[in-house]
Structure 1
Amino acid sequence: MKRREFLTSAAAGLLLTTAPAVGTAPGYAVGMTRRKPRRLGLIGSGWYGKSVLLRFLQVEPCEVVALADADAKMLAEAAEIVAGRQPSGKKPATYGDFHKMLADHEFDVVLVSTPDHWHALAAIAAMKAGADVFCEKPISTDVVEGAAMLAAARKYGRVVQINLERRSTPHLIDARDRIVREGKLGKIGLVEVYCYYHMRTSGNPPDENPPDYLNWDFWTGPAPLRPYNPLIHPRRWRSFKEYGNGIIGDMCVHMLDMARWMLDLGWPRRITSSGGIYVDKESKANVPDTQLASFDFGDVTVVWQHRTWGSSPDPDYPWGATLYGDKGTLKASVMRYDFIPQRGDVVHQDVVYELDEYPEDKTEKDLERHVAPALRRHVRNFLDCVDSREQPVADIEEGFISSSACILANLSLELGRSLTWDAENLRVAGDEEANRHLARSYREPWRHPTPEAV
């Protein structure tokens, strides 16, 4: 259904969405259509939190009830934007602490768009409060956090979609269906995934007092409390290992997950990584500027490389994946794909834009316009699964696998050795030192979640 058709339906007081045949979903009576807009909450009102939330409003006339963020300035700006975009015109309530937001309101859906180090606690709290969850990637900063999130989703019967939106990117779905699934690549033995963006923050300004509008202690949460620095917040926290998994956790997770989705791969059997800070040694950033990782899936190996310096080997593919088969090669990215067969014509397709249908995409601040169609499709899949209670295309378990593989690559780099992964028991085989690193230390008073205790 097109966006304007949804709004017309809402004006008539009814969304044309059929209720599940068995059981009930939020907002329904059994066998009836939805009578009220879905109630949405957002935890983390920064750049991508707003981008995803506004796609929800494009897909369906939801009601954004409340927003939470430790940055009061960012929070107030987001509330104004939402009031101008949601059908009711109401300004959502705002909270500095998401726990209070979850206690004060009932939500059908909660979006978790915090920095990575808050994902687990925020998502689990939202699930316990009765909401289905749309969560950013990587799902966690350590393996045990991710396992706890998966356990909570299953225990409380929640639908959880991870924002690995390559699985919903129109031209990449076409590449999977027309090229990979039709066997045009032949036997695939190697996939290269890579990123050559100069995205690691640079500079070394002095630490300073946090701005008055930022609750730095709560922003830090369970992570180690380091002094505030303007290089960290907003948006550049990804360059600091205290809050995320570096570029491999930010960028590899997308392309590794895309390869897993296209090739129906599960857990890697063995993970090996090397790298470090080789070029930009002056920056305050502490994640690698250069990293290699190998994920052994048995019959196929996926190899990652990032450099935040130098040039890309292929200017058309600075971030993407190359699938090598004995009948051809597929290059795929967020902007395009190219299939180069051993014999025959090259197949090329560009990203799909929807700027005429969604003109607000043209002027929305900081929107990745090429990603907006994929986000809308990802959101629609999630909401349909909220109604049907089926697993979405990027279910929490898929996000757990892809995120954990990247986390294990960082652990391999740290320990200086390969890791053999026991997926059944979620352990590194024969390596107790590595297993002690599967859960990081939490700062008081926060408690690390476990699968057994959610």
Structure 2
Amino acid sequence: MSQYNINRRQFIRGASATLALASLKANGMDFFSTAPARRVALIGTGWYGKSDLFRLIQVAPVDVVGLCDPDRHQLEKAAEMVSQRQTSRKKPVMYGDYRKLLAEQKPDIVLVGSPDHWHALHTITALQAGAHVYVQKPISVDVMEGEAMVAAARKYNKVVQVGTQRKSTPHLIEAKKNIIDAGLLGKVSHVEMCCYYHMRNNGNPPVQAVPDFFDYEMWTGPAPLRPYDGLPHVRWWRTFMEYGNGIMGDMCVHMLDTVRWMLKLGWPKRISSTGGIYVDKTGKSNIADTQSAIFEYDELECIWQHRSWGTPADPEYPWAFKLYGEKGTLCGSTMKYDFIPNGKGEKIHMDVVYEKEKYPEDVTEPDIELNAAPATRLHMLDFLKAIDNKTRPVADIEEGHISTASCIIANLSMKLGRALSYDPIKKEIVGDPEATKLLKREYRGPWVHPGA
């Protein structure tokens, strides 16, 4: 390994702490010593909701005033964990209805960690209640929900940060700055993105009685009410199109958003996709186990492929993006990046940043994504800085909408069997009334679609 690579590796290991310190002292204010505690609430206390909240607790003084979840057992466990993590040791007030939480606690910040089919209503209601919002990706299950979320953020003049934290991932920030922005790739005219994880949950659990600690009606909300066949937490709900947009909406949104950020891309000109359930036809899952999509830009195609079976095309990059430029190739993932120049030149490699020494509690936290923790901390700091400075965050709701909606439209293209072009001004699929009708899903009553 060259001395150049060693120095870069040492640099990036300290980059996260440096960036965090800079953000903490924005406007001459040290958040840890002088900033008042912000009133924070979490809607959806499952795996990633708690993870996001714990990362926020690590970087800023907060008072977690309320938690909301329709699963009382999950809610009580989360409240106990929060009481152990926040400085006051106070246990947050627990709610089964997010509207009551917002009305009674009046939080400054709301973290939305609920399943995808709830993101729009939770976000918009929190904005209406006067809160800034950090919402997990994908921001919506249909395109018109996303449009309504952007409109609400602007109407109420609040900051909405989307949990596409690759934009705050230290080694990818470095790759953008020192590879792409420095011109080492040259013109990029082809991009490949992929996910080959065997992550499509499946099976045939029997229909059963809803347990008394779980409010299944509230959990389902505006989505279709499926026969109850067990707690939907973790990966079970993601295997149904009723609640999300499959692996395309879950995993492609991250990589497409990263590529768009790195290459400064907006809406694709045209989107096409093919795929379906080709291999694992058993079980109840109705999301595609195989799918390809093309997001077209001027003189650039961004191609996505996922398979929840078989082996990865590149075992080193099973969930990743690859930018092909005239001068070289950049491969990137949550774990590392590699730059390979064309012809002579030096290869550049960088690994993910960990902060186990600085945040030892990371090591003992159940189910934490250690590789993502530093990125989420920086993402939270960027969110707080945007609130204080009244600016747009790095993963502003509009950017999250473009990435989310593009993936949703890819699924619509797969369903209809034709390429689609979205007009964000007219909010329609160009020349395709049938596809335009599919931009808005029907809500289950009494819930009302925010795009209505």
Displacement of 1:161: 0.2
Where do residues 285-364 of structure 1 align in structure 2 (5 Å cutoff)? 285-342=285-342, 343-364=344-365
Distance 1:276 1:61, change over 3 A: same
* Secondary structure of the corresponding residue to residue 419 of structure 1: coil
In structure 2, the partner of 1:185 is 185
Q: By percentage of residues, which structure has more helix?
A: 2
In structure 1, the partner of 2:419 is 418
Displacement of 1:209: 1.7
* Equivalent residue letter for 1:432: P
Q: Separation in 2 of the partners of 1:279 and 1:16?
A: 53
Q: Separation in 2 of the partners of 1:236 and 1:170?
A: 31
Of 258-267 and 422-431, more deviation after overlay is shown by 422-431
CA contact (8 A) 2:46 2:233 kept: no
* Secondary structure of the corresponding residue to residue 404 of structure 1: helix
* Secondary structure of the corresponding residue to residue 40 of structure 1: strand
Q: Runs of 5+ in structure 2 lacking a partner? A: 1-15
In structure 2, the partner of 1:381 is 382
Deviation string 1:269-320 (CA, Å, 9 cap, x unpaired) is 1000000000000021110000000000122111000000000111110100
* Equivalent residue letter for 1:93: V
Where do residues 65-104 of structure 1 align in structure 2 (5 Å cutoff)? 65-104=65-104
CA contact (8 A) 1:232 1:240 kept: no
TM-score by length of 2: 0.92
Deviation string 1:72-118 (CA, Å, 9 cap, x unpaired) is 11000000000000011100000001011001111110001100000
In the TM superposition, structure 1's runs of 4+ consecutive aligned residues that sit over 2 Å from their partners are 15-20, 33-36, 230-236
* Secondary structure of the corresponding residue to residue 233 of structure 2: coil
In structure 1, the partner of 2:263 is 263
Displacement of 1:424: 2.4
Displacement of 1:2: 6.7
CA contact (8 A) 1:16 1:34 kept: no
CA contact (8 A) 2:208 2:229 kept: yes
In structure 2, the partner of 1:44 is 44
Q: Separation in 2 of the partners of 1:425 and 1:299?
A: 25
RMSD (CA atoms): 1.9
Q: Separation in 2 of the partners of 1:19 and 1:263?
A: 32
Displacement of 1:449: 0.4
Displacement of 1:426: 2.1
Q: Number of aligned residue pairs: give it.
A: 431
Distance 1:391 1:19, change over 3 A: farther
Distance 1:308 1:235, change over 3 A: closer
* Equivalent residue letter for 2:108: D
Q: Separation in 2 of the partners of 1:104 and 1:299?
A: 53
In structure 1, the partner of 2:141 is 141
Displacement of 1:423: 2.7
* Equivalent residue letter for 1:387: D
Q: Separation in 2 of the partners of 1:202 and 1:399?
A: 28
Displacement of 1:210: 2.1
Deviation string 1:176-202 (CA, Å, 9 cap, x unpaired) is 111111111111001101000000002
In structure 1, the partner of 2:110 is 110
In structure 2, the partner of 1:435 is 436
* Secondary structure of the corresponding residue to residue 178 of structure 2: helix
Deviation string 1:165-222 (CA, Å, 9 cap, x unpaired) is 0000000011111111111111100110100000000221212122221100110000
Deviation string 1:209-239 (CA, Å, 9 cap, x unpaired) is 2222110011000000111123733442111
In structure 2, the partner of 1:163 is 163
* Equivalent residue letter for 2:360: P
